[in-house]
């Protein structure tokens, strides 16, 4: 079952902040965040595991609310390079299979 | 080090033809995944290999799709009797399952167009 991402799109000026949400109707084992630029491969940003462990880029932060089955990705002091489509991928059990949301398109303008 | 590579980068074929798409994972990664991405959508899971065996092929849409990984490294996704609805970007990813995390690293994809 595909997770639901919101918002679908967001436009920012450099230096502004944004939050992208990812919600699931099923209990989650882990949440993965990727950024994809047009015509390129998705790039791994962050993984959050049930129980609180996480691993990812230093400049990217995210949270995982196990009770709500929801994760949020925080873009802080956005830069032009943050532009792209952000996808969350959810894993319902430790079975390595990811279900991806439809994506959130982020545009950062100078 | 080298990332995941996929060949060809683009493939145009006619309806009814057979195609093979190749994926070369990151060296040492035991897990390999195939996904399909349609325009404006997130990647859709097709199949997952652990070593040489298909651990989960539940995402393959029908029996026209088949994938192999005979030596536990390179994988080939095979599509028989292609249909226009098969047109999409086919992404391959690999991961090292020994870390406890499952960061999947994606290749650039093969854009398949069925005319």
Question: Which H/E stretch holds residue B7?
Answer: strand B5-7
pLDDT at A82: 94
Contact B82, B15 (CB under 8 A): yes
In chain A, the residue whose alpha carbon lies closest to the alpha carbon of B99 is A55
- Within 10 angstroms of residue B17's Cβ, the number of other Cβ atoms is 13
Does the distance separating the beta carbons of A41 and B106 come in below 8 Å? yes
On whether the CB atoms of residues B92 and B6 are closer than 8 A, the answer is yes
Q: What is the largest CA-CA distance in chain A?
A: 42
**Are the C-beta atoms of residues B114 and A66 closer than 8 Å to each other?**
no
**Above 70 in pLDDT, residue B100?**
no
Q: Which residues of A touch B43 (CB under 8 A)?
A: 42, 87, 89, 98, 100
Q: What's the whole-number mean pLDDT along residues A9-32? A: 94
B84 φ, ψ (degrees, to nearest 5): -60, -30
Answer yes or no: is pLDDT of B13 > 90.
yes
* Percent of the residues in chain B that have a pLDDT greater than 90, as a whole number: 83
pLDDT in tens, B14-64: 999 999 999 999 998 999 999 999 998 999 999 999 988 888 999 999 999
- Considering only CB atoms, B42 lies closest to which of A49, A97, A103, namely A103
B30–A contact, CB cutoff 8 A? no
CA–CA distance, A103 with B111 (Å, rounded to integer) = 19
Q: Of chain B residues 94-113, which have a CB less than 8 A from chain A?
A: 95, 97, 101-109
Chain B closest CA to A17's CA: distance in Å? Answer: 24
What's the pLDDT at A58? 64
pLDDT band at residue B98 using 50, 70 and 90 as cut-offs? low
pLDDT band at A60 (very low <50, low <70, confident <90, very high): confident
Chain B CB contacts of A94 under 8 Å are 102
What are the beta bridge partners of residue A52? Answer: none
Residue A30 backbone phi and psi in degrees, to 5: -155, 160
**Based on C-alpha coordinates, what's the Rg of chain A?**
13
Percent of chain A with pLDDT over 70: 98
Q: Do A47 and B102 touch (CB under 8 A)?
A: yes
pLDDT at position A35 = 96
Mean pLDDT of B3-7: 96
Query: pLDDT grade, residue B74 (50/70/90)?
Result: very high
If you average pLDDT over residues A15-28, what whole number do you get? 93
Pick from B110, B9, B2, B23: nearest CA to B72: B23
User: Peptide bond preceding B45: is omega within 30 degrees of 0, i.e. cis?
Assistant: no
pLDDT at A43 over 70: yes
Q: Which residue has the higher pLDDT, B17 or A50?
A: B17
Q: What are phi and psi of A41, to 5 degrees?
A: -75, 150
Q: Is A100 an 8 Å CB contact of chain B?
A: yes
Overall average pLDDT of the A99-106 stretch: 96
């Amino acid at each position: 079952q595909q997770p639901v991402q919101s918002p679908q799109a967001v436009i920012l000026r450099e230096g502004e902040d944004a939050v992208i949400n990812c919600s699931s109707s099923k209990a989650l084992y882990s949440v993965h965040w990727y950024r994809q630029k047009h015509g390129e491969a998705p790039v791994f940003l962050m993984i959050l595991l049930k129980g609180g462990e996480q691993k990812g880029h230093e400049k990217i932060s995210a949270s995982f609310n196990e009770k709500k089955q929801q994760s949020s990705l925080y873009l802080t002091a956005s830069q032009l390079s943050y532009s792209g489509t952000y996808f969350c991928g959810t894993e319902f059990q430790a079975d390595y299979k990811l279900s991806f949301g439809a994506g959130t398109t982020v545009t950062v303008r100078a | 080090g080298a990332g995941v590579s996929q060949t060809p980068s683009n493939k145009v074929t006619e309806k009814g033809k057979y195609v093979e798409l190749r994926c070369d994972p990151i060296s040492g990664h035991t897990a390999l995944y195939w996904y399909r991405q349609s325009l404006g959508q997130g990647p859709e899971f097709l199949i997952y290999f652990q070593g040489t065996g298909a651990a989960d092929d539940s995402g393959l849409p029908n029996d026209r799709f088949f994938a192999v990984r005979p030596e536990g490294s390179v994988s080939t996704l095979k599509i028989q009797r292609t249909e226009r609805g098969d047109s999409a970007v086919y992404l391959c990813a690999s991961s090292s399952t020994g870390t406890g995390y499952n960061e999947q690293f994606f290749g650039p994809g093969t854009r398949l167009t069925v005319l």
